[in-house]
Amino acid sequence: NSEFIMTQGLYLSRRRFLTTATTAIAAPHVISSSALGKDGVAPPSERTTIGMLGVGNRGSSSIRALSPLPEAQIVAIADPRAERRELARKDVDKTYAKRANKASYKACRVYNDFRDLLARDDIDAVWGCAPDHWHGVLYNRVLEAGKDMYGEKPLTRWIAEGFTVCDAVRRYGRVFQTGTQQRSCPQFREACELAINGYLGKIHTVRVGVPGGKVCELEPPCDPPKGFDYDLWTGPAPMIPFDNKRCEWLAMYMISHYCAGFITNWGVHHLDIAGWGCPEIFEKRFEVEGQGILPPGGMSDTWIAWRVEFHYPSGLKLSFTDKREPSFAAFGKDTPRTDLGGIEANESGCLFEGDQGWVRVDRAGIWANPESLLSVRFKPSDMRLHASPACDNDRGGYVSHSADFLRSIRTRQDPVSPVESGQAASTLGNVADIALRLGRKLTWDPTAKRFLNDDDANNMLMRPLRGPWTI
């Protein structure tokens, strides 16, 4: 059995929390999951019941991340593809049957329409793994329904939608965990604590590098497969004739109707770390400009390569590029290296540069100069960032990130990636996209929630939604 960090050595469900007044929080400690109930299964009164919205690549990963956590129980799945939701239901049934040491498990229901799932009053929290173009509408509906929310990144496809979701989280008093799971990996927290506590000296430059885009060739239109509700999948996006590629990974991430491309969808991860370790990046006004390369044709219309710089009044610079590794599979075969225009690329990850040293962090590890920075013992007076529960059998922080969300449901405190951080990190990627598309320097004011003196840019903060969907 795995071990999990508890609060006061006790799991407390939302239902129990709402009917009791025990909100004191002690320092976390570790106990065995077997103490929760027979065979590591938490009693029903201490479980968080979960509905899954979307069970494609990311949704399937979410199910695997939740499977080691005995306080979570998936009771419903909604997906417009019948084949996917049935496969996911079978995975859930198999996991819980094994957990309970039973021959079978039949307590997870499936739905085509997410509204049927949200109508259930026995669901505590919703896991949102729908495509990016659905995030604004979907997350707002979940919050209105009184559910806590784990929402995959980026927070929303359009900047203005994100502010609406932030307002809804606070208005309805819900817990919201953004799916920027790198915050639940210890090396990312260590790098940010070194930066934020002055161990690098004054930070003057932050460099972020993420995977670049892909050329996706046009596909001939055809009928959707049996059991695929393409109209519902399209939702608030423009209705385009179906083909066999546009709804699949990676193509749907490269089509601007559904996603801003990897400049935001992948960029949000390391841009989030940049703002976690250097809060000025999220909080202050900045100028942004850059250059980029779009696909020469096909169905994809998001950035293949880019270099964008953000300049802050204090002199801080944020450099954001694709990482441009020749072996990265996202580049299409018809995009030769010479077409990248000599745009200088950053290394993968997030690098904080100060006048006394630097630290770079990526999913592969953490590096610093001088190396002694990695042996720093933080002082009691240092700012320590939110630490997610330490879980065995973790998958790049995803299990810990999930456990942190469940802990926040019990305590009613913000998780490690609250909705505002998700909005700020997503906005950076979307602002970069807008600056590149307009081809000029822009000034973004996070307090005013708009660009200064640029109507064209502000008109790109939102786009009309296809009816009947609204936010």
Q: What is the full DSSP assignment across 219-239?
A: ----PPPTTB-HHHHHTTS--
| Lowest-confidence pick of 179-193, 325-339, 444-458 | 325-339
| Average confidence (pLDDT) over 67-95 | 96
What is the pLDDT of the chain when averaged over all its residues?
89
Residue found under tokens 């979701």? 165
Note the pLDDT tens digit of each residue in 340-399. Answer: 556 679 999 999 999 999 999 999 999 999 999 999 999 999 999 999 999 987 878 999
pTM: 0.89
Note the pLDDT tens digit of each residue in 239-286. Answer: 999 999 999 999 999 999 999 999 999 999 999 999 999 999 999 999
Quickly state the pLDDT bin for 431 (edges 50, 70, 90): very high
Note the pLDDT tens digit of each residue in 394-425. Answer: 878 999 999 999 999 999 999 999 999 999 99
Q: How far is CA 329 from CA 215, 262, 313, 390, in A?
A: 11, 13, 38, 32
3-state DSSP assignment of residue 74: strand
pLDDT above 50 for 61: yes
pLDDT above 90 for 228: yes
Note the pLDDT tens digit of each residue in 12-43. Answer: 334 433 333 333 333 333 333 333 444 455 66
**CB–CB of 471/144 below 8 Å?**
no
Structure tokens at 262: 């990897």
Note the pLDDT tens digit of each residue in 109-164. Answer: 999 999 999 999 999 999 999 999 999 999 999 999 999 999 999 999 999 999 99
pLDDT above 60 for 325: no
- For β-strands 176-178 and 148-151, DSSP reports them as parallel
pLDDT at 104: 83
Structure tokens at 395: 């998958």
- For β-strands 305-311 and 3-6, DSSP reports them as unpaired
